[in-house]
Structure 1
């Protein structure tokens, strides 16, 4: 008799590309995955995997079985959801966010999830947008909150809102409320996020504009660190207004007015639609209820 464990092993080995990756995802040993695949293959007269390839590649017969396995797993998910009074959560939830979310409403989100699902294992990851999207595509995380979407049909995207970006600097550098002309702005070093941040392409017309040749540029992959560098007086930077309003109220930073208009930063939720769909949808709605891009609950401290 075929088992769901065997189908689950084949599906995730085929999806993730190796026995090791499937074992890690399912939280079992690699030998357990090998045993389940071996039991499954023993029922067929032809191999289900091509062992000559570097990765675990399905044969034609293996592809047919994978399609059946996916249907069986989807039906099992429906049965689990139907049997439970509420949405059945996964055993672990791998959530990826940018540092802006981590600096503000991530603690409240995690606390609410734990309150609703006390047995769930949370694995939050904080990274730049490019890294988060790559890990989501590779199935190393399940759910991402960041300023980018993907149009692949296996992903669901939901818009969260937009964030106002402003120039900021230490009052030691800019001590009045005048509007800085371009030549005045360019005399300061530019503190900006490094490659991989979503702000780089959004601010392309500012950072890479030949008409705005900043004398010096300092790149950093952490927005909170940029705020600290700016507060120390090392240069001028571009930050989300709401998230760093505490720096302004404390007198550590000043919002600098310039002749250069800055775009707004849009944030989205992205998750896969091929597993745990009902649970992810509930978490997405929870995010929309808890997120605050106005600064009422944001804190950079």
Structure 2
């Protein structure tokens, strides 16, 4: 009986060793297969990368047909473009098909070039009548209730005022929003999104104070016409500063935005502490609101 048990144990040990060897072979085959697949995937990715660099690019449509499309220099962050166009200098432009937004952007860029070449002061700037041709294209933008998008108007006394000027392609004001020059007033309670952009030319700072840093504030304030004695309270603010001698001709853009719960009669104002420093092209400075 003992001999028979020993013989059985030897058979079981042999089976275990065989299963262990088979398992090792299976793991080795799986490991080798994984290495081969990873290598093939790497080679494929490298091949696709090389092909993307050397393959001829789609030249896109004839440049003469792009008058209604918007094209900008392609960059790494450029996304969702409709097609690319190769320029005479072998660079690429990323283009977007003709839409309301692209038409508005083209108008704004054209007007800025005109502003910088024909006008010395924003007070004398008048947009071309041709802008009116496309104002009706943005009906989805201008038909929103409890909303407004205003542009800057610098008064003779260098005070900041905001206007809904129909001559500007993006400017509008719904009937339930009141504007008195400096303030936006709402007539319905609710949650609103408020935003403001001010573009500043710090190079206009007084050179006589070249050794002294200066600080400037852009803010959005809230008040209420039924509480005149409480005054305006700052809701959002950004601070800028610099030394005149170190500033350049670059523009600095301050953008404020946020959501506020407003009630009937609440007013909002967007201010910059030093209006003479503002880049007075109206499209570069705007104040807006819409009900969420």
- TM-score clears 0.5: no
Q: TM-score, normalised by structure 1?
A: 0.23
- Structure number with bigger Rg: 2
